[in-house]
Copies of this chain bind each other. A is one copy, B any other.
């Protein structure tokens, strides 16, 4: 299987991305096409893989056009037809790659994916699914930012798509919850109430509403919400971890004894960090595309890139899209395209 990697996206530049690509090749028998500036990629490879141990499974598709982080996605994909992200999805479209992975401008990645691959039949709106670490298995939240104003039908389709994706984490018959404020039926806003009616008549394993605090408990597998609420949940979590880490660092540095204590307890911190580290979960799949695309956080390090490539491989191997199509066929109420 060959996967296309946008080698120009991300905050850390090609070196971090290519390190991730090499890690992925070392762990699997995948083939990769790196899309980006040939000379920059070549220079990185000379430094990072001087023996050329993985170079046989790595091709380069040359382009110097890049979508910048701050650019308007719609403008960018219209004007920059030869940008690395557009060419990566073009490979996926032509069947020369099974999936495209990018850590660049998320909006442009989504737009490029939709433009090049189109949508699965009857899916109204592709969205972004994100795996959150929990006390048990990861929980998959969808949508985390692609669709800010949603209708109940969209959330129903997110439930169908994220349930299919849950197979990547070996979750069978995933429990589906609607993110709301209060667990009882009837608690929540209008969107939640109408989505409840649709999901309760579906073939999905619908368990009702879940609250914000349930995200990290691990007693639900798939949480659906609109992209506004999902993105805020994600960012609130990131901000809280960042603030707590900073408070902790300041506290530890203020006392020698505390510093010693920290050193002794450090393996525990490392273990927790690994357990909750976004990098361990790889990228977030764009579900609903007629093909496979993975968005990575702009700040992704090489481990995150490696895991995103592995997630892409998994999505293809377990045939997430065929599972989505089968589930839509079972749930005809979900199979209506709604703008």
Chain A residues 210 to 249 lying within 8 A of chain B, measured CB to CB, are 211-217, 226-229, 231-244, 246-248
Is chain A's interface secondary structure helix, strand, loop, or mixed overall? helix
Query: Is A179 an interface position by the 8 A CB rule?
Result: yes
Determine, out of A34-42, A112-120, A252-260, A301-309, the stretch whose residues face the partner at the interface: A252-260
Q: Which residue of B lies closest to A144 (CB)?
A: B181
Instruction: Select which of B149, B211, B217, B268 is within 8 A of A189 by beta carbon.
Output: B149
A217 to chain B: which residues have CB within 8 Å? 239, 242-243
Query: In the complex, are the beta carbons of B229 and A232 less than 8 A apart?
Result: yes
**Complex alpha-carbon distance, A226 and B145, angstroms:** 18
The answer to whether A236 and B239 have CB atoms under 8 Å apart is no
**Is there a chain B Cβ closer than 8 Å to A56's Cβ?**
no
Q: Do B268 and A228 have beta carbons less than 8 Å apart?
A: no
Q: A212, A217, A231, A252: which has the most chain B beta carbons within 10 Å?
A: A212
| Max chain B Cβ within 10 angstroms of own Cβ: one of A211, A217, A261, A275 | A261
Cβ B264 vs Cβ A247 within 8 A: no
Chain A residues 19 to 39 lying within 8 A of chain B, measured CB to CB, are none
A239 adjacent to B214 (CB under 8 Å): yes
For A247, give its contact among B181, B213, B229, B275 (CB under 8 Å). B275
Closest to A148 in B: B189
Interface residues of A in 141-157 (CB under 8 A from B): 145, 148-149
Known: A189-B228, A251-B271, A264-B257. A246 touches B212 (CB 8 A): no
Judged by a CB distance under 8 angstroms, whether A322 is at the interface is: no
Do A258 and B248 touch across chains, with their CB atoms under 8 A apart?
Answer: no
Assess whether A188 is in contact with B268, with CB atoms less than 8 Å apart. Answer: no
Taking CB atoms, residues of chain B closer than 8 Å to A258 are: 264-265, 267-268
CA distance A275 to B262 in the complex (A): 19
CB distance from A210 to the nearest CB of B (A): 10
20 extra interface residue pairs, beta carbon distance < 8 Å, beyond A149-B189, A237-B237, A258-B268 = A134-B243, A135-B246, A145-B181, A148-B188, A179-B232, A181-B228, A181-B231, A188-B228, A212-B231, A212-B239, A216-B239, A217-B239, A228-B229, A236-B236, A244-B272, A244-B276, A247-B275, A247-B276, A254-B268, A257-B265
Shortest 5 CB-CB distances between A and B: which pairs? A261-B264, A212-B235, A213-B239, A261-B265, A251-B268
